[in-house]
Structure formats: structure tokens, C-alpha cells
Amino acid sequence: MKERDFKMGFKKTEDRRLHNKNLTVPNAMSLFRILVIPFFAYFFLTDNLPAAIVALALSGLSDALDGLVARRFNQITELGKMLDPFADKLTQGTVAVCIAIRYPAICPLLFLLVIKELVMLCGAVFLLRRGRKPCASKWYGKVSTTLFYVSIALIVVMDGFLQVPAETFTLVSNIALVVTAAFMVYTFVRYFAIFRQILRDPDDHQYDINLPEELWEKKQKP
């Protein structure tokens, strides 16, 4: 009896040392960015700009830190590589829609953003269905995201806080939007080249993935 109890206790202790490898701080940060989205939309659409800016700033801060934390503490996972850009896309889309409601001038940028993200999302799903994983975020993707936020913040601050003259507002906002749109196109071209490379080189096993197995795989706790 005691021997059986000892074995059962040892098994429970061993089981506790196993945990899902996707339960990491960086992945939690990506989920946090997704959860912040409806709060930002509510604050912005109800004219609570300070709260909306705080929500967006927290989202941007977590976006900047999750990669650093993942590399520093060796918490890089395949789920995180997909969850991070997914959170970015949801956040950008929501912000663009909210801003477009108030500032119709960004509608062309919104259209470009929606087309870019839909095509990239369809490409990612296509790769996953073929057992290939999409590439992780690249530096130009991060720069594109940063330019997007800077442009939007510039428009909101000029109109909502600084009350700049209409001519200045139009000039500065148009320059910011054109630069952002140009870099979005550049980013899309670079990602599309990687997408073609992944499809054309099936022997490159760094992109192989079994998604269900990857999501539920466990590892030993240190």
C-alpha cells in the first residue's frame, strides 16, 4: 500500500513538472494586446481620447517587449511567432477603422491595410493547411507597424489636442499617410517573396509544422 502510494505520489510530482510550452509571458503579452482592442475602440468612439491613447500605448509597449522577453528568457515558441503578428493585424485593423470613422482622409490607407492583411492571412492559412508555418515577423514588418501608429497618433494629436491650422494638418497628415502606405507595400512585397520561397522549397524543413501537436506539446520544467 505504501509502495503504491509512493509511486502515485511520484507520478503526480513528475506530471506537475510538465507544462504546456506555449504558456509563456510573451504569448500572454500577445493575448493582452488582443484583449485591449475592444477597450481602445470603446474609449475612442466615445470621445475618451486620453483613455484610448493609454490603451494603445500599453498595447504598443507590450508589442515592443514581447520579443525581447522571448529572446532573453528563451521563451520563443511557434505559437508566439504566429500570435504576435496576428495581434498586430487585429490591433492595426481596429485602430484604422476607428480613425477612419472620424477622419475619412485615411480611408485609402485603411483600404490598403485591409487588402494587405487579408492576403497575408489567407497565405498563412494556406501554408498551415499544407504543414508549413508562416515566417515570423521581420524588421520591416515592425517598422511598418511603427509607422502606422506614428501616423495615426500624429493625426489624432494634431486634430484633437494641438488644433493646428487646416492647411498644416492636411499637409502633414498626407505626408505621413503616403510614407506609411509606401512602406506597407514594401513590407507586403518582402513577405510575399518569403511566402513563395517557403512553397517552392519543400526540403527546407525549418518551416515544417504540425499545428495541433505544436499547440499541445509539453516540456519539462527546469
Q: CB under 8 Å to 112, separation ≥6 — which residues?
A: 181, 184, 185
**Dist. CA 88–CA 67, nearest whole Å:** 13
User: pLDDT at position 206, please?
Assistant: 75
**What is the residue-level pLDDT of the chain in tens, covering all 222 positions?**
445 554 444 444 444 455 567 778 888 988 999 999 999 999 988 988 889 888 988 988 888 888 788 888 788 787 787 888 888 888 888 888 888 888 777 777 778 877 887 888 888 888 888 888 888 778 888 888 888 878 878 887 887 778 888 888 888 888 988 898 899 899 999 999 999 988 888 776 777 776 666 655 555 445
pLDDT of the residue at 161: 76
Residue 196, judged by CB atoms within 10 A of its CB (0-12, 13-18, 19+), counts as exposed
DSSP letters of 111-160?
A: HHHHHHHHHHHHHHHHHHHTTBPPPPP-HHHHHHHHHHHHHHHHHHHIII
- Residue 37: the pLDDT is 93
CA neighbours closer than 13 Å in the CB half-sphere of residue 160: 16
Q: Domains in the chain, ordered, with CATH? A: 2-220 (1.20.120.1760)
Q: Which residue type occupies 155?
A: I
Helix ranges (H only) for 46-102 are 49-72, 78-102
Residue 34: the pLDDT is 93
Q: Which amino acid is it at 71?
A: R
Residue 151 CB partners (closer than 8 Å, separation 6+): 109, 173, 176, 177, 179, 180
